């Protein structure tokens, strides 16, 4: 019953966060102007704010979903969408395009980098017809470190005129998010897959041997989880850059609230992740408007205190 109430609460939070994103900004608009405004108001709402809000919600939902899937796959509560080097590969591709002055090719370069990293992790972690979660984790960590070194090198070589945009991309920036269709398509596909595999995810979270003893085809399941998490992460990074912390904190917040069954965890993570990033991005462009902050900075500033508060409450209950 508690899970159902939480889900319905998040279901109400989602449209509320989108409405806040539409109405808030450097130019304050009223609720009536959503449907009955002048030309300037309509342009601000439906050509600038609406695509950005839709992109922010989809990115947050994708990152939260990817975090849920990877934490099950690796059986590691610290796993997040950026652990396996996919975002690092995308960042190397995107920053390389910026460094070469190919602004129109940034998304294509990021996609190429993400796919290259995904295939490399896959090739190094799958041998003799079996997954090695140990190799998967180590390969991801090693690639992330290598990509981090390349990113630092490119930043040191970048001209001052391009450094600002590169840093904003690395911190997560939704300023240029205008075509959310790809992110929403990826969210629909990966979210549906995650929800349909919810029972298998519950069993796999206990352990591979337990899953095999219950008749679960572990190898295809692990491959499907990795593919879904990789697609979700890639779509989010292409749309909003390297927005951190969402994929790590949202699953933890829900588990601290007592949500453990993936039948509820997957949809709740999608709703909470989307709402969280939408509200964070709204604050990022409103708090010191007209100047904008990177969305990734706000996700950490909002998420860290909330997570620490819930952890302290949980410790207090356990000590009672």
Confidence of residue 1 (pLDDT cuts 50, 70, 90): low
pLDDT single digits (tens) 12-39: 999 999 988 888 776 666 666 656 656 6
R_g of the chain, CA atoms, integer Å: 20
Please state, for a pLDDT cut of 70, what percent of the chain lies above it: 89
Whole domain around residue 224: which residue ranges?
2-319
The residue ranking higher by pLDDT, 281 or 175, is 281
Residue 33 carries which DSSP code?
G
Q: CATH number of the domain that 49 lies in?
A: 1.10.3470.10
Section 100-114 average pLDDT: 85
Section 50-74 average pLDDT: 92
CB 188 within 8 A of CB 100: no
Distance of CA 87 to the CA centre of its chain: 10
**What gap in Å lies between CA 55 and CA 278, rounded to an integer?**
8
Give, for 266, the enclosing helix (H) or strand (E).
Answer: helix 262-286
pLDDT for 33 equals 60
Give, for 222, the enclosing helix (H) or strand (E).
Answer: helix 218-240
Residue 63 has pLDDT above 90, yes or no: yes
What's the structural domain count of the chain?
Answer: 1
Model-level pTM? 0.90
pLDDT single digits (tens) 64-105: 999 999 999 888 877 888 888 888 898 899 899 888 888 778
pLDDT for 232 equals 92
Angle at 117 between CA 113 and CA 123, to 5 degrees: 145
For all residues of the chain together, what is the average pLDDT? 84
Section 178-193 average pLDDT: 91
pLDDT for 269 equals 95
């Amino acid at each position: 019953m508690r899970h159902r109430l939480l889900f319905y609460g998040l279901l109400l939070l989602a449209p509320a966060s989108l409405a806040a994103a539409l109405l808030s900004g450097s130019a304050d608009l009223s609720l009536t102007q959503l449907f009955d405004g002048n030309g300037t108001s309509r342009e601000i709402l439906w050509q600038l704010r609406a695509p950005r809000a839709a992109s922010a919600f989809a990115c947050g939902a994708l990152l939260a979903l990817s975090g849920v899937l990877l934490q099950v796959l690796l059986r590691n509560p610290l796993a997040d969408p950026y652990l396996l080097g996919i975002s690092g590969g995308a960042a190397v591709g995107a920053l390389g395009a910026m460094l070469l002055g190919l602004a129109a090719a940034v998304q294509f370069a990021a996609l190429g980098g993400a796919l290259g990293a995904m295939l490399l992790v896959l090739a190094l972690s799958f041998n003799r017809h079996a997954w090695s979660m140990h190799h998967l984790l180590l390969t991801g960590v090693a690639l992330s470190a290598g990509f981090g070194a390349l990113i630092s090198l490119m930043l040191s070589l970048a001209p001052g005129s391009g450094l600002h945009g590169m840093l904003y991309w690395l911190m997560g920036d939704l300023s240029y998010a205008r075509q959310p269709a790809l992110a929403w398509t990826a969210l629909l596909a990966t979210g549906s897959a995650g929800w349909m595999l919810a029972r298998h995810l519950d069993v796999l979270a206990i352990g591979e041997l337990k899953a095999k003893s219950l008749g679960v085809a572990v190898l295809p399941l692990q491959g499907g989880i990795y593919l879904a998490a990789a697609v979700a992460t890639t779509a989010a990074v292409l749309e909003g850059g390297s927005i951190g912390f969402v994929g790590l904190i949202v699953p933890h917040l829900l588990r601290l609230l007592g949500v453990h069954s993936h039948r509820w965890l997957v949809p709740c993570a999608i709703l909470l992740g989307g709402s969280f990033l939408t509200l964070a991005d709204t604050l990022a462009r409103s708090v010191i408007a007209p100047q904008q902050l990177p969305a990734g900075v706000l996700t950490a500033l909002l998420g860290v205190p909330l997570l620490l508060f819930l952890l302290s409450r949980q410790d207090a209950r356990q000590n009672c």
